[in-house]
Chain A
Amino acid sequence: MSKVQCELCPRLCVIPEGAAGDCRVRVNIEGKLRATTYGRPSAVHIDPIEKKPFYHFRPTTSVFSIGTAGCNLHCLNCQNWQLSQRGGEEMEQIYSLPPAGLVQEALDRHCQGLAYTYNDPIVFYEYVRDSAELAKAKGLNNVFVTAGYINPKPLRELCRWLDATTLDIKAFDDGFYRRVCSGSLKPVLDAMVIFREEKVWLEVSNLMIPSLNDDMALVRRLARWMRDELGADTPLHFLRFVPMYRMRSLPPTPETSLVRAREEARDAGLHHVYIGNLFGHEAESTFCPRDGTLLVQRSGMRVIANHLTADGRCPSCQQPIAGVWH
Chain B
Amino acid sequence: MKALLWRHLRPREFRFLGFVLANLIAIGLFLASGQEEMAPVGGWRRIDTEALARRLQSGELQMREALWSKPVEAGRERPR
Contact = CB atoms under 8 A, between A and B. Distances in A.
Contact of A19 (B41, B45, B61, B62): B45
B76 A89 contact: no
A295 to B, nearest CB: 41
B11 interface: no
A16 B61 CA distance: 20
Nearest to B45: A20
Contacts of A19: 44-47, 77, 79
B64 A126 contact: yes
Given A8-B68, A125-B68, A40 B44 contact: no
Interface residues of A, number: 54
Contacts of A182: 40
A7 interface: yes
Interface in B44-80: 44-49, 51-52, 54-56, 59-74, 76-80
Contacts of A8: 66-69
* Most chain B beta-carbon neighbours within 10 Å: one of A24, A87, A179, A184: A87
B65 A94 contact: no
A14 B76 CA distance: 7
A27 B61 CA distance: 11
A298 interface: no
Contacts of B55: 88-89, 94
B47 A27 contact: yes
Contact of A6 (B38, B51, B68): B68
Interface residues of B, number: 38
Nearest to A154: B68
Given A14-B44, A89-B55, A7 B61 contact: no
Nearest to A21: B44
Contact of A15 (B60, B62, B68, B77): B77
Contacts of B59: 96
Nearest to A30: B63
Given A5-B69, A33-B69, A184 B40 contact: yes
A22 B45 contact: yes
Interface of A: 1-8, 10-16, 18-22, 24, 26-29, 31-40, 87-90, 94, 96, 125-127, 129, 151, 153-154, 177-179, 182-184
23 contacts: A3-B72, A5-B72, A6-B42, A7-B69, A8-B67, A8-B68, A11-B42, A14-B72, A14-B78, A16-B77, A22-B80, A24-B45, A27-B47, A33-B66, A34-B62, A34-B66, A36-B61, A88-B52, A88-B60, A88-B61, A90-B48, A94-B55, A179-B38
Given A27-B47, A125-B66, A178-B38, 18 more contacts: A7-B68, A8-B69, A11-B40, A13-B44, A14-B72, A15-B44, A19-B45, A24-B45, A31-B71, A32-B69, A34-B62, A34-B63, A34-B66, A36-B52, A36-B63, A37-B61, A87-B45, A94-B55
